[in-house]
A = this chain, B = another copy of it.
Amino acid sequence: MSLRERKKRQTRQALMDAAGRLFDEQGYEATTVDQIAAAAGVSTRTFFTYFRHKADVIRTNSVERVDAGVAAILARRPGEAPAELLARAFDEMLAESWEMGLTAGLVGDAYKLPIFSPQATIDRSNARLERLAAALVGACGIDRMTAYAMVGAAIGAVSGTAAVSMSEGRTDEETLAETSRACRRALTGF
């Protein structure tokens, strides 16, 4: 790997680390991009060459987690039902999510559809939805609509459960178990 590439990764990581630390310390809203950039030792302008939005510095993590989910889907066991396969994939993602200490990283800010202008393309933040759904279509041969509905339902169930679980002060382990269960129920019926 070239020096250039190494430096880029280094800067990117420094920004993510600084952001994570500052968000933990002072909360997301209270942290400015200026602070993150300063803590990472680069200019504010440079932050935006690495991340489109302030929130992207978080989502990038989830992108990597979605990789795990996609991988799990692609490793489908012969004959495995789509619902069960997706549930397993979510378990992978959730586990990794918590390992990284980003409690709601996977679920937070999950959707951001363009509300008006039908011609608007789906927001980047929907990339995870799209990737998982596409993998599911490829692995199981189900139709797109169903795949999107399944992934949407799973994310929604996880999100809703995480919200209530955290608000009730559960531990991370409990929350993890609850979200996993909710995800399965969303896919196989309540």
Quick one: closest B residue to A164, CB to CB? B148
Q: Which residues on the B side are within 8 Å of A114 (C-beta)? A: 28, 104, 108
The interface size bin for chain A is: 35 or more
Closest partner residue, chain B, to A58 (CB atom) = B115
Q: Decide yes or no: A116 and B160 within 8 Å by CB, A109-B111, A188-B190, A190-B150 being known contacts.
A: no
Oligomeric state, in copies = 2
B109 touches A159 (CB 8 A): no
**A117 at interface (Cβ–Cβ under 8 A)?**
yes
- In the assembly, what is the distance between CA of A190 and CA of B189, in Å? 7
A126 to chain B, nearest CB (A): 6
Residues of B within 8 A of A186 (CB): 149-150, 152-153, 156-157, 186
Give the docked Cα–Cα distance between A185 and B113 (Å): 21
The residues in A between 126 and 152 inclusive whose CB is less than 8 angstroms from any CB of B are: 126, 129, 133, 144-146, 148-152
* Residues in B neighbouring A112, C-beta threshold 8 A: 108-109
Contact flag A149-B185 (CB < 8 Å), given A122-B163, A163-B129: yes
Is the Cβ of B161 less than 8 Å from the Cβ of A145?
yes
| 22 A-B pairs with C-beta separation under 8 A | A23-B116, A27-B120, A28-B120, A29-B117, A108-B112, A113-B163, A118-B166, A122-B163, A144-B164, A145-B161, A146-B182, A150-B160, A150-B190, A151-B156, A151-B160, A152-B156, A152-B160, A156-B156, A156-B159, A187-B189, A187-B190, A189-B189
A-B contact sample (11 more), CB < 8 A, given A104-B114, A108-B112, A152-B156: A28-B116, A29-B117, A83-B190, A108-B114, A122-B163, A145-B161, A150-B186, A152-B161, A153-B160, A153-B186, A156-B186
